[in-house]
Structure 1
Amino acid sequence: MAQRHHDPTDSAAGPMTTGEALAAYLRGQATEFLRALRLHGETGGGAPNGSTDAGEPVDAARALRRAARRISGSLHTFRPLLDTGWSEELRPELAWLSGTLALEHACEARLERLLLALHRLSGASAVPVRTAAGAEGPSHASGAGTVAGADATGVVTAAGATGVITAAGVTDVVAGVDGGRALAGSATGFSGSRASVGAGGRAGGAAPAAHRAASGGTAPAAVVPDRGNLTVGAAKAGALLDRQLTLARTRAHSTALQALGSSRFHAVADKVAVLASEVPLTPAAAGTDLRPLAAAALDRLTDAVAALPLVTAGHPYNAEALVHGLSPDPAPHPQDAPWHQVRLLLRLHRYALEVLHGGDVPPDVRLLSAGQALDRHRDASEAAAAAAHAARTPRIAPATAYALGVLHADQRHEVEAARYAFQRSWQAQTVGTTAP
């Protein structure tokens, strides 16, 4: 059935907007870009591990990304009204900058999402808190926020706050075990107590005195009789994800700092500075209406949504998603790409509306809910990919691999839930805007 939406070319949509409105919008976004760049330079890059107050640098980087995305999206939607050579040269550079600055935040959000999901799936009662740990290296004291254990291949120390793990040829952290049963650690989530583990995963004797002192003297703090293996696997999976994603976040932070200091970025900043005062419009742009180009962006979005399997998204189970579930190919899930494309086109549609309304877009609850559903879809699919990547780590324990498999399935379930939410919001938008 054909879908009809609000037409930005309708005369009731507001006064006619021409290339002058586009120029004013681009100048405003270029000014926001330069303001965020100045703020970033005044506050510095900040620390990727949160050891210093990095709130302002994070806000500055987010403002840089926001302005870069809007300038790039407007150059794409309204490119017939702009100098072709200039726009085609600047647009991919802005996309590169926005993507580079987004990596660090994406790693942090992905780690938080996965640790909270592991906490929920393991049935723990307290929300994990990643607090600051003590000195780096093997720890001999039982304390909150620190996991210390011995594996068959070496010694691991995990810092609950920053995810820093020092290891001698190991891939995971062994939680406290006594008689094959998991011992509940401190109230900080995936923290545990130091214990000796012998061959075959069994306890090599009584618990150390440090553990007994931390648990009250004579007995373990709490025993989970039926979920021992899953609890140990979740703790080790959380430590592994913490290590991998914290390392990825640190690398992304370094990459962003290098990008902001490169000659490539300075060339982009110079062009944006020129854009703040002069927009290279074509001679005919001053009298050209913007609404047909905005309507074309909406048509591209509508066509992309029509190609989505919305009928499948309306069912609780998507059997087709299991076809590649055990594939060794580390490429992204084949079903996710069309949904990511719809998310991009929805963003371009929103930016086109901002240009038409001078940045003051009337609130649209249905459009907002559709965008939020697609954001959830993107976050869940990337988190599932991160869990699958961690599960491919060589020589991890079976309990760790099992916990990561459960985590991957949980995030793919979130993907299906987000698709269903988008389907309902989009259909509501269609019904609400269909002509009588």
Structure 2
Amino acid sequence: MHSPELSRDTATAGEAVAHYLHAQAGDFLRSLRLHGESGADTAGASEAARALRAAARRISGTLYTFRPLLDPAWADDLRTELGWLSSTLALEHACTSRLSRLLDALSRLSGASPLPPARTELSPLHAAPARCAAPEAGGPTAAVGSRAGRDAAGGGGSPAGHNLGAGHGAGADGPASPGRGAGAARGGVLNVGAARAGALLERQLTLARTRAHSAALQALGSSRFHAVADAVALLASDLPLAPAAAGPAADTLGLLAEVAERRLLDAVAQLPLGRAAHPYNADALVNGLTTATAGEEQDAPWHEVRRLVRLHRYAQEVLHPGADPVLCHAGRVLDHHRDAAEASEAAAAAARTPRIAPATAYALGVLHADQRHEVEAARFAFQQEWRHATVTVSAP
């Protein structure tokens, strides 16, 4: 029996892409069946939805990278629909993990929980797949896996966080009721500002999660979703190929994968990696007091690199079936960057709630700054990971 590499060398590019897409379509359909069998509000349904999104992303990314080998109109239409489905299903999980992240940070900043231990070394980029499994988009991620990242984050907390309880008063945030994860401060006295901030965040993000859950259920029952499922089902048995797909797999796939890699290299070249190489550079805090749009524009190039790292990884999965994940930990660091950036936006949005108490607004401001420090730490860690990857690739 031939290995995947040997069989791919004798196949056309279209056959190699079809083999990968058939496997992902099978994962998509199995996940869809499990989701229906598990019920809407169970842990099994959540896991099935995660697998459904993962398969949808891989199919969509492959359609994008290897578009010249496929019918372009068909590929573009299916990719658009898969993007809609993936983003719709991800919203509920994103709200859940964002709330958990913010409440845990509040607990840590108010001294109610100990700091996590610092990691002492960079993780290898080409570790085994079991260790390199990337977390689901919007899901909780571990702390940035490097000592450098912890240093850039200031040890995971700010000294100002010990003053979260300064001030009193009541406002639109309501009475001081502890949110989940925002516990008692040192001495057992509940931290008023942190507790109210946690309660406000819990109300807002729980409402957003409920709406996202309803939107996901509505989407899964819509005719639009059934059309997507039918298209993926056909993809599992038939793939509309272009004439270019008749070329040899190694050469044709290699050229298209190089295009994806060049896009990634060009995007990384636009990042301020020189500044990110210095801890405490405050680059992620530059727009902390300006408009929300300015902060989003600052994060956008990093989010784009994250997207391109994912596309590069999917292209390598097609090109080298069964190989270890490529740039796995660099992608995880960028996932952490995205999560921290979106959490900081949620804290800022909560701080703009009318008539909240000064102590609550102060706690949310400290929480926003803490998450922007996490953004900066992730940028520092990515710079370290990317430099390590460059050295590994350049080594003879």
Q: Structure 1-normalised TM-score? A: 0.72
Task: Assess, with a 3 A threshold, how the Cα gap between structure 1 residues 269 and 233 changes in structure 2: closer, same or farther.
Answer: same
2:209 corresponds, among 231, 241, 249, to 249
1:19 corresponds, among 14, 18, 34, to 14
Q: Report SS of the residue matched to 1:324.
A: coil
Q: Distance in 2 between matches of 1:125 and 1:44?
A: 35
Q: Distance in 2 between matches of 1:397 and 1:345?
A: 42
The match for 1:353 is: 316
The match for 1:190 is: 182
Which amino acid in structure 1 is aligned with residue 176 of structure 2? V
Q: Distance in 1 between matches of 2:283 and 2:183?
A: 38
The match for 2:64 is: 76
1:315 corresponds, among 275, 278, 287, to 278
The match for 1:98 is: 86
Task: Assess, with a 3 A threshold, how the Cα gap between structure 1 residues 263 and 357 changes in structure 2: closer, same or farther.
Answer: same
Higher helix share: 2
The match for 1:362 is: 324
Alignment of 1:110 with 2:101, yes or no, is: no
Q: Distance in 1 between matches of 2:199 and 2:373?
A: 23
Q: Distance in 2 between matches of 1:83 and 1:273?
A: 17
Which amino acid in structure 1 is aligned with residue 95 of structure 2? C
How do 1:109-148 and structure 2 match up within 5 A?
A: 109-125=97-113
The match for 1:263 is: 223
Bigger-Rg structure (1/2): 1
1:87 corresponds, among 65, 69, 75, to 75
Which amino acid in structure 2 is aligned with residue 324 of structure 1? N
Gapped runs of 5+ residues in structure 2?
116-168
Pairwise CA distance, 1:400: 0.3
Task: Assess, with a 3 A threshold, how the Cα gap between structure 1 residues 305 and 328 changes in structure 2: closer, same or farther.
Answer: closer
Task: Assess, with a 3 A threshold, how the Cα gap between structure 1 residues 266 and 384 changes in structure 2: closer, same or farther.
Answer: same
Number of matched pairs:
334
How do 1:226-237 and structure 2 match up within 5 A?
A: 231-237=191-197
The match for 2:266 is: 303
Which amino acid in structure 2 is aligned with residue 41 of structure 1? G
The match for 1:182 is: none
Pairwise CA distance, 1:331: 6.5
Q: Report SS of the residue matched to 1:236.
A: helix
Q: Distance in 2 between matches of 1:330 and 1:393?
A: 18
Pairwise CA distance, 1:283: 2.8
1:431 corresponds, among 383, 391, 396, to 391
The match for 1:34 is: 29
Q: Distance in 1 between matches of 2:350 and 2:27?
A: 39
Pairwise CA distance, 1:348: 0.2
The match for 2:299 is: 336
Task: Assess, with a 3 A threshold, how the Cα gap between structure 1 residues 80 and 125 changes in structure 2: closer, same or farther.
Answer: closer
Which amino acid in structure 1 is aligned with residue 61 of structure 2? G
Q: Report SS of the residue matched to 2:355.
A: coil
The match for 2:150 is: none
The match for 2:334 is: 374
Pairwise CA distance, 1:335: 1.3
The match for 1:412 is: 372
Which amino acid in structure 2 is aligned with residue 94 of structure 1? L
Pairwise CA distance, 1:312: 1.0
Q: Report SS of the residue matched to 1:333.
A: helix
CA RMSD of aligned residues (A): 2.6
Would the aligned equivalents of 2:68 and 2:244 in 1 still touch at CA under 8 Å?
A: no
The match for 1:274 is: 234
For residues 354-407 of structure 1, give each alpha carbon's deviation from its aligned partner in whole angstroms, at most 9, with x where no partner exists: 11123x12245xx12211110110010000000000000000000000000000
Q: Structure 2-normalised TM-score? A: 0.79
Q: Distance in 2 between matches of 1:423 and 1:28?
A: 34
The match for 1:290 is: 253
Q: Percent identity?
A: 65
For residues 37-96 of structure 1, give each alpha carbon's deviation from its aligned partner in whole angstroms, at most 9, with x where no partner exists: 1111112221xxxxxxx1110111011101100000000000000001111111111011
For residues 303-334 of structure 1, give each alpha carbon's deviation from its aligned partner in whole angstroms, at most 9, with x where no partner exists: 10011000111122334544432224467532
Which amino acid in structure 1 is aligned with residue 238 of structure 2? E
1:173 corresponds, among 175, 181, 185, to 175
Would the aligned equivalents of 1:73 and 1:348 in 2 still touch at CA under 8 Å?
A: yes
